[in-house]
């Protein structure tokens, strides 16, 4: 296993891109092992979470490692809570298959970006 201090985020992402283009199993194995090393050592959690900004790395985490959410939870980082759900449309009212939209506020309700001179 590679020492965590020698893992480069740039090289790891390059390996993931190679896997995506050519299906190189050796590159995938190496990238997954390096990601596991970062994910399972608390010293490198911040680095790992920064790595998850890349969609390929996030996909590997979701499918193979499944560690990103655990780390975020352990560090006390939480996702913002969702607002209340919009009510489902009642069948037989309005247009079929579409929910009613709220009315738009009048343009004058918004403050002007350009003060009068």
What are the pLDDT digits (tens) for 84-108?
877 777 766 655 555 556 666 555 5
CB contact at 8 A, 18 and 24 = yes
Which long-range CB contacts under 8 A does 1-8 form with residues at least 24 apart?
Answer: 1/33, 1/37, 2/33, 2/34, 2/37, 4/37, 4/38, 4/41, 4/43, 4/44, 7/34, 7/37, 7/38, 7/44
Q: Give pLDDT tens digits for 25-52.
A: 888 888 888 888 888 888 888 888 888 8
Report in angstroms the alpha-carbon separations of 97 from 8, 68, 104.
50, 37, 21
Does the predicted model carry a pTM greater than 0.85?
no
Q: Give pLDDT tens digits for 54-87.
A: 998 888 888 888 777 777 777 776 666 777 877 7
For residue 101, what pLDDT is reported?
A: 61
């Amino acid at each position: 296993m590679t020492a965590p201090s020698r893992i480069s985020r740039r090289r790891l992402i390059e390996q993931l891109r190679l896997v995506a283009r050519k299906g190189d199993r050796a590159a995938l194995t190496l990238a997954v092992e390096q990601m596991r090393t970062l994910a399972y050592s608390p010293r490198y959690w911040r680095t790992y979470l920064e790595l998850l900004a890349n969609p390929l790395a996030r996909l590997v985490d979701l499918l193979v490692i499944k560690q990103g959410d655990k780390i975020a939870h352990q560090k006390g980082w939480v996702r913002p809570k969702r607002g209340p759900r919009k009510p489902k449309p009642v069948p037989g009212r309005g247009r079929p298959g579409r929910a009613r939209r709220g009315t738009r506020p009048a343009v004058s309700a918004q403050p002007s970006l350009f003060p009068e001179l």
